Amino acid sequence: MPIRLHNSLTRSLTELTPRTPNRVTMYHCGPTVYSSPHIGNFRSFLFADVLRRFIEDQGFQVTQVMNVTDVGHLTLDDIEGGEDKMEVASRKAGKTAWQIAKLYEDEFHDCQRQVFVRTPHHMPRATEFIAQMGTIIDDLLQKGVAYQTNGNVYFEVAKFPQYGKLSGKVLDELESGARVAVNDEKKDPRDFALWKTDSLHQMQWEAPFRGGARGFPGWHIECSAMSMHYLGPQIDIHTGGEDNMFPHHECEIAQTEAHTGLPFVGIWMHARHLLVDGTKMSKRLGNFFTVGDILAKGYSGLELRYTLIRVQYRQTLNFTLKGLDEARAAIGRVQQARQRLVRVGGGQERAGDDDLTAAVATAQAVFTAAMQDDLNVSEALAAVFEFVNVVNKASMSVVGAKNGLVAFARFEDVLACFGGEPKGDATSEAPAELVALLAQRKACKQAKDWAGADRIRDQVAAAGWKIVDAQGGARLEKA
């Protein structure tokens, strides 16, 4: 069975057939680093992470790029109005825009680690790709699909008749839209900025294209330049939140395809927004949570991750604190079942004769089919919990226990929301008696038996291994 993903461009399920066999290129619109990342942002980033993990699980080699927007994202980006978000944050905090960018980029990376995101292969900053943006702008000016007025450069939407093909917004509808900003400089209110001049803007550069003025880039051109730099003119998958579809992705398509003459993206994917307690998350309603807010309430990154990925990405997710409590209980059930497998596998619990072959095969097959079906994480989780029920009741053999651990390791490798050791971790290759010692040590620590825990650490060391304490739980590594 192939992986089938919902393509926002064709509004249909599309089989993933990468341009280069067995290699998948993915670009994700990353954070704008002007404030602490909120859980809505992270629903989208975690969707991208699960997507990558599953595609890798299916044997593809993935190259993943997620940008950091640190300049040019306006407060009213849908109508090209307002001020650069970095400038606003800078003024409020009494720091420079560069300091703000560094502060929140660091926090973003920290949040990614807290919720076990596999680090993308490239995480470029927009401010470091000004020259590449200039190359595209220069070409668009030469081709006559962009024009310059008072130093500002605009993309001329009328020159790209396919504009609107992603979002379905037709030109007339856009033209008559009441929210289109009044800007006398533009030939057409729908034209969007590629380069802007503003003598007060803190982040500015000499024009990276011929005949231009000092200024800073528009938000959309950043993603075109960075994806092209790392992944070439055509990419397999591009993701973002549903709010990115228009105008951001629509503009990315226009300027990239006008520049290269080639279809830009194979499959466009958009994660839906989440609701909090049944309504849109907003600071005004007091239901606004950053990742840090949730961790400060005593929930773990694992629990947050579970909560944010458990509903398929195109479905509405209603985030509640009760949902985090349910996540804690669900993770606990999986870990208990795993621990039983560790005990039977390590001889601490009497073994039976079920080798779990049939149950493992069923669980794996149902899990895979669910994920192949447009990343249906809820169905995949149902397969995991069905397997948990089997493990809890089974009278399994030592081999059965080890088979069961292999299945759990794979589920963890793809979803990374249960804790324990993912596939490929050295722990899965460690002798069973050491794996059992690891479980015993955890019990010691829970019982605050520090001497016992230290003794086990020494025993493991004597066998040539070491225990590494990590956020997902302790693991074994060869010393």
Contacts with Zn ion, residue ranges (CB under 5 A): 29, 223
> Cβ–Cβ contacts within 10 Å for residue 404, how many?
29
Beta carbon nearer to Zn ion, 123 or 460? 123
Q: How far is the CB of 248 from Zn ion (least distance, A)?
A: 5
Contacts of 230 (CB under 8 A, 6+ apart): 63, 65, 121, 122, 124
SS3 content of the chain, % helix, strand, coil (to 5): 50, 20, 35
Q: How far is the CB of 185 from Zn ion (least distance, A)?
A: 24
Nearest to 153 by CA among 181, 195, 208, 211: 195
CA distance 174 to 149: 22
Nearest to 195 by CA among 252, 140, 248, 137: 137
CB distance 226 to 124 below 8 Å: yes
Strand, helix or coil for residue 125: strand
CB distance 234 to 19 below 8 Å: yes
Beta carbon nearer to Zn ion, 223 or 276? 223
CB distance 230 to 122 below 8 Å: yes
CB distance 164 to 182 below 8 Å: no
Beta carbon nearer to Zn ion, 77 or 303? 77
Beta carbon nearer to Zn ion, 29 or 235? 29
Q: How far is the CB of 424 from Zn ion (least distance, A)?
A: 31
CA distance 68 to 65: 10
Q: At 428, phi and psi to the nearest 5?
A: -70, -15
Residue 305 one-letter amino acid: R
Beta carbon nearer to Zn ion, 194 or 223? 223
Beta carbon nearer to Zn ion, 160 or 264? 264
CB distance 453 to 442 below 8 Å: no
Beta carbon nearer to Zn ion, 29 or 265? 29
Beta carbon nearer to Zn ion, 264 or 418? 264
Helix (H) or strand (E) holding 82: strand 81-84
Residue 56, Cβ density class (10 Å: 0-12 exposed, 13-18 middle, ≥19 buried): middle
Q: How far is the CB of 226 from Zn ion (least distance, A)?
A: 8
Q: How far is the CB of 30 from Zn ion (least distance, A)?
A: 8
Q: How far is the CB of 61 from Zn ion (least distance, A)?
A: 23
Beta carbon nearer to Zn ion, 251 or 405? 251
CB distance 387 to 431 below 8 Å: no
Structure tokens at 298: 């005593």
Structure tokens at 200: 């007060």
Contacts of 220 (CB under 8 A, 6+ apart): 192, 194, 247, 248, 251, 252, 255
Structure tokens at 80: 């090209």
Q: How far is the CB of 340 from Zn ion (least distance, A)?
A: 45
> Which phi-psi region, left, alpha or beta, contains residue 459 (left: φ > 0; alpha: ψ -120 to 50)?
alpha
Q: How far is the CB of 223 from Zn ion (least distance, A)?
A: 3
Q: How far is the CB of 193 from Zn ion (least distance, A)?
A: 15
CA distance 382 to 367: 8
Contacts of 21 (CB under 8 A, 6+ apart): none
- Number of residues that this document lists for the chain: 479
DSSP at 73: -
Q: How far is the CB of 398 from Zn ion (least distance, A)?
A: 51
Beta carbon nearer to Zn ion, 223 or 444? 223
- The strand pairing partners of 318, in sequence order, are 275
Beta carbon nearer to Zn ion, 29 or 174? 29
Beta carbon nearer to Zn ion, 77 or 138? 77
